A and B are shown apart, each in its own frame.
Chain A
Amino acid sequence: MATQSLRHRPAELWIKGAQAGLLAVAVCFSLGATDAGSRFNDLGHRLMCTCSCAQMLGECNHVGCPESGRERIELSSAIAAGQTDQQILSMFAAKYGATVLAAPTTHGFDLVAWIAPFAVFAAALLGTILLARSWSGISGVRAQAAAAETPTTDPAELERRERIRRETGADGGF
């Protein structure tokens, strides 16, 4: 039993490590500012100015903007009224439309905006690893065959040659 638990320990450690990592990532993306000033700043950068200037509410600074002043007052009032971030964002979206939110939500089709980049990255990473493994597999067979024919595939010799080539600058670049 003791041997078995020892054998399982690395796997458990990996799982716990992964859980801790996921928790850290979740914390990264879920925690936000809490005091009124920083909440205003934070929410001001999650909302857009609706005057078509394509700037975030917290950054819209053009003279005579007909919208940003009113939106800022609404935001301050909502924070003062004790609404949560989600309630404030929903209120703005209901009033001005979904384009007032500076990023897609995590519901419905908007979720695709968040998932697709990571899905593509994961798929491309997997594809690259498989490709590299298959390429190295082919050459591994060749390398073994070559090793039987010539002593120059000795790892120490190869490393020595590689070091000479690297240190004397006979290597590639841009």
Chain B
Amino acid sequence: MAAFGSFALLIALALAAYNLLAGALALRLIATGQPAAVSPERLADTARRAGIAGFVAVTGAAFALLWSVFTNDFSLTYILEHSNRALPLPYKFAALWSGQEGSLLLWAWLLGAYGFVLRLRHKTDVKLYAYAGTIMAGIQVFFLLLLCFPASPFALMRGAIPDDGNGLNPLLQYPEMVIHPPMLYLGYVGFSVPFAFALGALIMRYPGEKWIKITRVWTLVTWLFLTGGIFLGMHWAYAVLGWGGYWGWDPVENASFMPWLTGTAFLHSVMMQERKGMMKSWNVWLIFSTFLLTLLGTLLTRAGLVSSVHAFAQSSIGTWFVVFMGIVLAVCIFAYVLNSAHLKTEHHLESLVSRESSFLFNNLVLLTACFVILWGTLFPILSEYVVGNKVTVGAPWYNRVAVPIGLFLLFLTGVGPLLPWRATSFKNIRRNFILPVIALWATVIVCFAVGVNPWAGGQFSSGNFFALVAFALSVSVLTAILSEFIRGGQVISRQTGRNLFAATWLLTRRNTRRYGGYIVHIGVVIIVIGLAGAAFNKNIESELGLHDKMAIGPYTLVCTGFTQDSNDNYDSEYAMLDVYKGGQKQFQMTPEKRVYHASQQPQTMVAIHSVPEWDLYVVYEGSNPDTGQPIIKAFLNPLVGWIWSGLVVLVFGTLLALVPSLTPATASLRVPAARPITPEAALKGGH
């Protein structure tokens, strides 16, 4: 199977290279109109078909690696290092992306899959799709070069083949690890599609904004995958790492967040181009930057440039990524300089207080947030380079610098939808803003009344202050968005006689983009409320003997036993804790510590009881070597469940925004059918 896999990768490389070269040559011949021995249109079509065949070849390679994992073929170094016989079946799948070579193969396969769909849909706009397909083939060549030479997943073991493998990293043996990396990769890789379309449209001087409409679904789906991937990673960190948090500003976490920020900026600013033809250059560079940031994220993960808890797959392929990023940047700059005249637009705002200017400020804040995170991630390298002194840039720095920027962004989330396009009047502002402002101050008063007070305990707490601002802004933004729904619903209700709920639903279906977007904003607000709860986290650590108690918040934990267990994959120690509230037993928790046989590495299995107010989060820290009794650390983390609920709302809003809006019923007119356009004719005739 190793030979089959290696051979499949070589064929895929040859096909991708052909796709790139033949595609580029064909498009050049078409653009210049030079006579050629072969019809350029036919050449372009063979390039497209090579791209489709390349996907089949990469699928063959991925199948070969999975087959080797499932058949415990430890003659392959990759399988030896990332799997073992006792590994449960779902985690055998996870072995595909648990190491560098496998995750690069997953990247190449997903890129092939996106390219496959793109090439099948080429009739939408043959010429633009030909450009995009050729650019994607260029990206695929890079990943296949990596897979065929410095990072082959099919490298064979030297010497005697061991009977069993080293096993999967225990941190990765958790259900979400079967979903989180593919989801994140779908997001990362997916941004190559809008990138390819943007670069292709720039090179071919594509007229109009149609390419943005074509890529809108791609961009939104990709953004959704990236969002889902980031949040699944947060939940994994929360449930597995056992430190009570979900976001540590680790360089690799930051690396996934940066393209999300620029991608979000693109989703907003692209509306300016669609509606008013503005910010064409800006949008092109936003999508270029997003793609480059996905590569930077991969570089940070792979090259070990900065210290990270995600050091699962470090190696020396960083240089390859640096060179590739340099080539991509050079191509982008060259294409832009050559074709920038095509992107010239007349920018005009009719008022400084309008939806357009709110998009400008939204982009400003998102891009500043991206810069801040990039700066914090790379500052240790910069400091070492400039003064020879490496420093740590950790959570305290991000909390002080990034949180205020995030709150400003939350403020814009509320203000933006309340401002109409073009211009507004003072009366309009007063009408739209009065309720949100009342809600804001009412929340401040309520927060003070329930003890969310920056000066609680006689001293100023910046965490409480930021939480107070976040709660007040969140309620204000929610009020603003809900009032938009209700106002629109009331109009429809008057027109159609439906009740307000049905009318609001009809309103949403009539403009799914707009109201789906508002639901996404509601999801973001719910997430922010959950994040703000972290200011009030509590924890306690104690050694618990049989029937010993520890109290946290309204709960009392009573130890009813501690024991050990073993299976083929790991040994475990765990404690059984009865949880009481108000003197009544509520439930039992069993926090656990595992030691995996193959790797001899320990792993925490946190016990979490989640209710809307908080999470009771209990960690088995180990046992006291003198007494043999368990050491338990309990956390009471307010509002964490809101983060995951907010994600559900956000996903729903995004899916809704992807659904076409209801259109008013119209009479149809029968006309004679037009002659079908062949791909060759379309390539000749432009888009």
**Chain A residues in contact with chain B, CB under 8 A?**
27-29, 31, 33-34, 45-46, 48, 52-56, 59-64, 97-104, 108-110, 113-114, 116-118, 120-121, 124-125, 128, 131-133, 135-136, 138-140, 142-143, 155, 158-159, 162-163, 165-174
- Asked if residues A54 and B307 are in contact (CB atoms below 8 Å), the reply is yes
Query: B459 contacts A31, CB within 8 Å?
Result: yes
Offer 12 A-B interface pairs, CB within 8 angstroms, sorted by A.
Answer: A29-B400, A48-B394, A54-B250, A61-B243, A102-B397, A104-B392, A113-B379, A118-B401, A162-B422, A166-B420, A168-B488, A173-B517
**What residues on A are CB-neighbors of B364 within 8 Å?**
124-125, 128
Is B624 located at the chain interface by the 8 A CB criterion? Answer: no
User: Is the CB–CB distance between A173 and B511 below 8 Å?
Assistant: yes
Check A117–B368 contact: CB distance below 8 A: yes
Which of chain A's residues have a CB closer than 8 A to the CB of B387? Answer: 108-109
**Set of chain B residues within 8 Å of A33, measured between Cβ atoms:** 459
Residues in B neighbouring A131, C-beta threshold 8 A = 360
Selected from B372, B392, B520, the residue in CB contact (under 8 A) with A99 is B392
Q: What residues of B have a CB within 8 angstroms of the CB of A101 in the complex? A: 391-392
Given contacts A61-B604, A116-B375, 13 further A-B contacts (CB under 8 A): A28-B465, A55-B309, A104-B397, A109-B387, A113-B383, A135-B348, A136-B352, A158-B422, A162-B423, A169-B510, A173-B511, A173-B515, A174-B220
Is B315 in contact with chain A by the CB < 8 A criterion?
A: no
Report B298-320 CB contacts with A as 1/0, cut-off 8 Å.
00000000011100000000000
Bound: A132/B391 CA distance, A? 39
A114-B401 contact in complex given A99-B392, A139-B348, A169-B515, C-beta closer than 8 Å? yes
Q: Are A61 and B511 in contact (CB under 8 A)?
A: no
Interface flags, B628-661, vs A, CB<8A=1, else 0: 0000010000000000000000000010010000
B352 & A133 in contact (Cβ 8 Å cutoff)? yes
Query: Which residues in chain B, 542-572, are within 8 Å of chain A measured between CB atoms?
Result: none
Q: Are A120 and B371 in contact (CB under 8 A)?
A: yes
> Which chain B residues in 400-438 approach chain A with CB under 8 Å?
400-401, 405, 420-425, 427-428
**Could you tell me if B392 and A174 are in contact, using CB atoms closer than 8 angstroms?**
no
Please, which residue of chain B has its CB at the minimum distance from the CB of A169? B511
Instruction: Report the Cα distance A159→B397, complex, angstroms.
Output: 45
Known: A54-B307, A162-B424, A172-B275. A136 touches B602 (CB 8 A): no
A133 proximity list for chain B (CB < 8 A): 352
The answer to whether B488 touches A103 (Cβ under 8 A) is no
Chain B positions 491-538 with a Cβ under 8 Å from a chain A Cβ: 491, 507, 510-518, 520
A103 touching B348 by the CB < 8 A rule? no
Q: Closest 4 CB pairs between A and B? A: A173-B514, A173-B513, A139-B348, A102-B394
B339 located at the interface, meaning its Cβ lies under 8 Å from any Cβ of chain A in the complex: no
* B352 surroundings in chain A (CB, below 8 A): 132-133, 136
Asked if A170 contacts B511 (CB within 8 A), the reply is yes
Knowing A63-B593, A109-B383, A162-B420, the reply to whether A173 touches B657 (Cβ < 8 A) is yes
* A contact residues around B513 at 8 Å (CB): 172-174
Chain A residues contacting B357 (CB-CB under 8 Å) are: 132, 136
B244 interfacial contact with A, CB 8 Å? yes
Check B390–A99 contact: CB distance below 8 A: yes
Q: Is residue B462 contacting chain A, with contact meaning CB distance below 8 A?
A: yes
Q: Is the CB of A55 within 8 A of B243?
A: yes
Rounded to whole angstroms, the CA-CA distance of A61 and B606 in the bound complex is 12
Query: Is B133 located at the chain interface by the 8 A CB criterion?
Result: no
Are A172's CB and B274's CB within 8 A? yes
Band of interface residues on B:
35 or more
Specify which chain B residues have a CB less than 8 angstroms from the CB of A169 in the assembled complex: 488, 507, 510-511, 514-515
How distant is the Cα of A31 from the Cα of B460 in the complex, in angstroms? 7
Q: Give Cα distance in the complex from A131 to B349, angstroms.
A: 10
State A168–B393 Cα separation when bound (angstroms): 49
Question: Within the complex, what minimum Cβ distance (angstroms) separates B397 from chain A?
Answer: 4
What CA separation (Å) do A41 and B483 show in the bound complex?
Answer: 43
**CB of B586 within 8 A of chain A?**
no
Taking A120-B368, A132-B360 as contacts, is the C-beta distance between A103 and B396 under 8 angstroms? Answer: yes
Task: Kindly state the separation between the CA atoms of A142 and B350 in the bound complex, as whole angstroms.
Answer: 9
Bound: A160/B360 CA distance, A: 25
Write out, one digit per residue, whether chain B residues 336-380 have a CB within 8 A of any chain A CB (1) or not (0): 000000000011111110000100110010011001100110011
Partner among A45, A53, A62, A113 whose Cβ is within 8 Å of the Cβ of B395? A45
Give complex CA distance A128, B687 in Å.
Answer: 35
Given contact pairs A61-B633, A103-B393, A142 touches B348 in the complex (Cβ within 8 A): yes
Interface string of B472-498 (1 = CB under 8 A from A): 000000000000000110010000000
Q: A61 and B242 in contact (CB under 8 A), knowing A125-B364, A158-B423, A159-B425?
A: yes
**From A102, A143, A172, contact of B392 by CB (8 A):** A102
Nearest to A118 among chain B residues (CB) is B401
Complex CA–CA separation, A83 to B339 (angstroms): 63
| Chain B minimum-CB-distance residue to A108 | B387
B360 near A124: Cβ-Cβ < 8 Å: no
Given A34-B459, A170-B511, A173-B518, the answer on whether A98 and B391 have CB atoms closer than 8 Å is yes
The answer to the question of B248 belonging to the interface, with a C-beta cut-off of 8 Å to chain A, is yes
Nearest residue, chain B, Cβ from A155: B425
* Contact present for B307 and A52 (CB under 8 Å): yes
Most buried by B among A59, A125, A136, A174: A174
B486 to chain A, nearest CB (A): 11
Who on chain A is nearest to B306 by CB?
A: A54
CB of A98 within 8 A of CB of B390, answer yes
Provide the bound-state CA to CA distance between A172 and B562, in Å.
59
Contacts of A46 in B (CB 8 A): 396
A119 smallest CB distance to B (angstroms):
11
B277 lies within 8 A of chain A by Cβ: no
Within 8 A of A (CB), among B223-259: 242-245, 248, 250
Cβ of B1 within 8 Å of any chain A Cβ, yes or no, is no
The reply on B621 being an interface residue by CB < 8 A is yes
Q: Are A53 and B657 closer than 8 Å at their CB atoms?
A: no
Q: CA separation between A64 and B387, bound complex, in Å?
A: 34
Residues of B within 8 A of A166 (CB): 420, 488
Chain A: minimal CB distance from B516 (Å): 6
Q: Does B619 interact with chain A (Cβ within 8 Å)?
A: yes
From A33, A56, A172, residue with most partner B Cβ within 10 Å = A172
Contact call A63/B397, Cβ cutoff below 8 A: no
Contact A113 B488 (CB under 8 A): no
Q: Is B60 an interface residue (CB 8 A)?
A: no
B95 to chain A, nearest CB (A): 23
Let me know if B393 and A104 touch, CB within 8 A.
yes
How many Å from the CB of A111 to the closest CB on chain B?
11
Report whether A128 and B368 are in contact in the complex, using a CB–CB cutoff of 8 Å: no
Given contacts A61-B243, A108-B387, A171 and B393 within 8 Å (CB-CB) = no
Report the bound CA distance from A136 to B487 in whole Å. 29
The reply to whether B347 and A138 contact each other, CB–CB distance below 8 Å, is: yes
Q: Choose among A31, A48, A171 the residue that contacts B421 (Cβ–Cβ < 8 A).
A: A171
Given contacts A101-B391, A159-B425, contact A124 B245 (CB under 8 A): no
